[in-house]
Amino acid sequence: MHFHNLIKVFCTNALLMSSYFIQGQTVTISNEINMVSDNNYDLIGYFNNKITLLEDNGRNIVLHEYDENLKKLNTPSITSNNKKSRLFGYVPQDSLLTLYYKYFEEGQYIVALVNYDPRLNVRNDLILRSTDKNQSRVYPINISKDRTRHLVTMEDGPSHVTRFIMYNSVNNTVQWESNDAGIEANLYDEDRIAKVVANDGTYYALYVNSHNKFKNSYTILKVNGMGHRRMELPLNMTPLTDIHLEYDDVSGKIAVAGIYLDENLTSQEGILMMNLDDQLSYVGEIKKIPFNRQTINDYYGQSQRQRAGILDLELNEVQTRMDGGMLLICEQRKEVSRINNTGRSAFVPVSTSTDYYIEDIVLTSLDKDGNLEWQKVLQKKQYSYDDDGAYSSYYMHANPSHLRLIYNDEIKNENTISEYIINPLGNVDRRVMFNTAGSGLHIQIRNGMQISANSTILPSIRKGKLRLLKVTY
């Protein structure tokens, strides 16, 4: 179903669009897919020039292929011949699909990959690791932004030393491999906050040193074919509630950003920002950008009592710009657990529920020197319970002229989908996109995917039924 005008939309699907919606966008909706319990579903964008949804059950995959109007075209599949194989990762590119398996064969435990062409014919394969005993624990695959470098991480037993394998999909080779025990010496897997793979095959990771007496101390790790390098970030004098690592493949710079607390450790005072080069040396100074009075007032509302800072803010992402500047996106998040036991009796089973409040967004724009350009609060109210906040938060559609932050106005079966439109100068416009009343849609905004400069796909999941929506501006 492709919607072109207000009359057709209103009559066929009861999606109530504003006139601005009709002038600025169209919405296409796919037919339903019956979801299979325990299967994974992942929107992978374009593969073989078709919009593709990947379904896997841990061993085999099915590709749901759609045309530009989200009409189902085909459902090709890949079935593993080895019944004991386990699929632990996949990386789609425009004309290449890489599947990662672990399996047992001829007395060997093997970690390997298989590359498929657009027709799902095997292009090539590669064994990454072969051992006599099943002592290698594999972790999810990390990939570079251009999807050509894949980091395979596994734990070698019984030593428990981490083995890193960097795969280059361009020439089907292992670019480098290391299981040097010194790489993660005194660093712990549970303390790893972020992992980034650069387009050249360099791996960066950020750890919090939780076993250090200074709880606000961090370590940045760099690993490539030349060896490894580490840098300590002793920020114990600047306690953080959140920290984020970002690598810019164009400039070769590393950005570390966080939200810092005030002296009394009672509220979040502002954004901390530092830049490093690819040798882990500081570029410029560490900067603190405090939340200004207008930001705090907008966050709590003008009628609230005056506050010195902010609470419950998390740093979601750091976007680098072509001019060297950055956009930091923070979101208000709070979880409240409660016990459901009205009788307070030892003989009555006790259950717990979790309330999710995922609300206002704070945007901070910095120039290339880390100076504040503008800061905006985008208000939204999203409450749900016992759903892991799956229908809350936002999705960002970006192009050179502006950003669009799409979100559900309320978390219920029928609600309004809205968006904030932000230009590079910080001017903000809010508008209603459409209403889902009577449509049977329940949209998981945060799991959207931008497939072109003017199109985004959003999934809808309701009562075990999956549908895709394509929004075209």
Interval 70-94: pLDDT, tens = 999 999 999 988 878 999 999 999 9
Tell me the pLDDT band of 264, cut-offs 50, 70 and 90: confident
pLDDT for res 82? 82
For residue 405, the surrounding DSSP H or E stretch is strand 402-408
Calculate mean pLDDT across residues 318-337.
93
**Residue 6 reports pLDDT greater than 50:** no
From residue 27, give the alpha-carbon distance in Å to each of 227, 406, 448, 455.
50, 14, 14, 10
CB 367 within 8 A of CB 328: no
pLDDT the model gives residue 401: 87
Q: For residue 416, what pLDDT band results from cuts at 50, 70 and 90?
A: very high
Residue type, 290: P
pLDDT at 324: 87
Q: For residue 125, give the amino acid letter.
A: D
Report whether pLDDT(283) > 80: yes
Q: Please tell me the predicted confidence (pLDDT) of residue 352.
A: 86
pLDDT, residue 349, reads 65
CB of 287 closer than 8 Å to CB of 272: yes
Average pLDDT for the chain:
89
Query: Could you count the other beta carbons within 10 Å of the beta carbon of residue 250?
Result: 10
Provide the pLDDT for residue 343.
54
pLDDT beyond 60 at 3: no
The mean pLDDT value for 420-429 works out to 95
> What string of DSSP letters covers 176-214?
EEE--TTTTTT--GGGEEEEEE-TTS-EEEEEE-TTSSS
Residue of higher predicted confidence among 312 and 264: 312
Whether the pLDDT of residue 141 is over 90: the answer is yes
For the chain, give the percent of residues with pLDDT over 70: 91
Q: What pLDDT, on the 0 to 100 scale, is given for residue 28?
A: 95
Rounded Cα–Cα distance for residues 263 and 391 (Å): 36
Long-range contact list for 144-148, CB < 8 A, 24+ apart?
144/197, 144/198, 144/199, 144/201, 144/249, 145/199, 145/249, 146/199, 146/249, 147/91, 147/92, 147/93, 148/93, 148/199
What length does the chain have? Answer: 473
Mean pLDDT calculated for residue range 198-214: 86
Q: 326-340 and 351-366 as β-strands: parallel, antiparallel, unpaired?
A: antiparallel
Average pLDDT over residues 24-42: 93
- In angstroms, rounded to a whole number, what is the distance separating the alpha carbons of residues 23 and 5? 9
pTM of model > 0.85: yes
